Amino acid sequence: MHEHGHEHGHDHGDHHHGRELPQTELLTAALESLLVEKGLLSSDAIDRIVERYEKDVGPMIGARVVARAWADPAFKQRLLSTPASALAELGIRMDNLVVVENTPAIHNAVVCTLCSCYPWQVLGLSPAWYKDLAYRSRMVIEPRAVLREFRLELDESVEVRVWDSSAEQRYMVLPARPAGTEGLTEDELAALVSRDAMIGVAKVSAPALARREGA
């Protein structure tokens, strides 16, 4: 079963990110080249900044949200029902985010079929594969096959729901909390949560020590 954040029949002009993105990338590349040429910034410094926002700063904001939801059932309910106000409790301003929860019976994944709309406020920079046409088209048509390519194999009894983001409404997955993490602090829980798990192409695993103790 597929769920969609917007209808595929919408005109591309309404989905304005699809039109603006190439110009934004062009201006960014031009500014980067100018700064490097003038000696104001090195390519290595740019790479470090991009890597920090792609892997650390952005995703850790979302991971903190997930960890709070795992640790606080009341916050979790607010996050699922009124996400904007729940996020505001953590100092995050975002009015167009919908949070969908993974359960033993339902697995959620996020895509943007028309361009690459993405909740960067909580997930940081989007991965290159998220923008790729193959991911954007195939995730809606054959989600299980795509998830297998991410090494995520789901039982046939699990329903896969694919949520289609738009400029007006974006989605984030609340991953299932792994067994064996009951004694962890929120900071320790947040450290387990990856950007890919919040997009829905991965699961969160318990630390190796917790897995051994639970065996």
How many Å apart are CA 127 and CA 1, to the nearest integer?
25
- More confident: 98 or 47: 98
Whether 161 and 107 have beta carbons less than 8 Å apart is answered as yes
Catalytic residue among 42, 43, 115, 194: 115
Catalytic residue among 85, 112, 157, 166: 112
Whether 201 and 150 have beta carbons less than 8 Å apart is answered as yes
| DSSP-derived pairing of the beta strands 159-164 and 106-111 | parallel
For this structure, is 166 an active site residue?
no
For this structure, is 81 an active site residue?
no
Q: Which of 109, 130, 114 is nearest to 54 (CA)?
A: 130
Q: 121 φ, ψ to 5°?
A: -60, -30
Catalytic residue among 42, 85, 117, 137: 117
Which amino acid is present at 142?
E
Assign domain 56-214 one CATH number from 3.90.226.10, 3.90.330.10, 3.30.70.20, 3.40.50.1100.
Answer: 3.90.330.10
Q: What digits encode the pLDDT tens for the residues 99-124?
A: 999 999 999 999 999 887 888 889 98
Q: Of 40-49, 123-132, 176-185, which one has max mean pLDDT?
A: 176-185
For this structure, is 43 an active site residue?
no
Q: What digits encode the pLDDT tens for the residues 165-189?
A: 998 999 999 999 999 999 999 999 9
Q: What is the mean pLDDT of residues 126-147?
A: 94
SS3 112: coil
For this structure, is 115 an active site residue?
yes
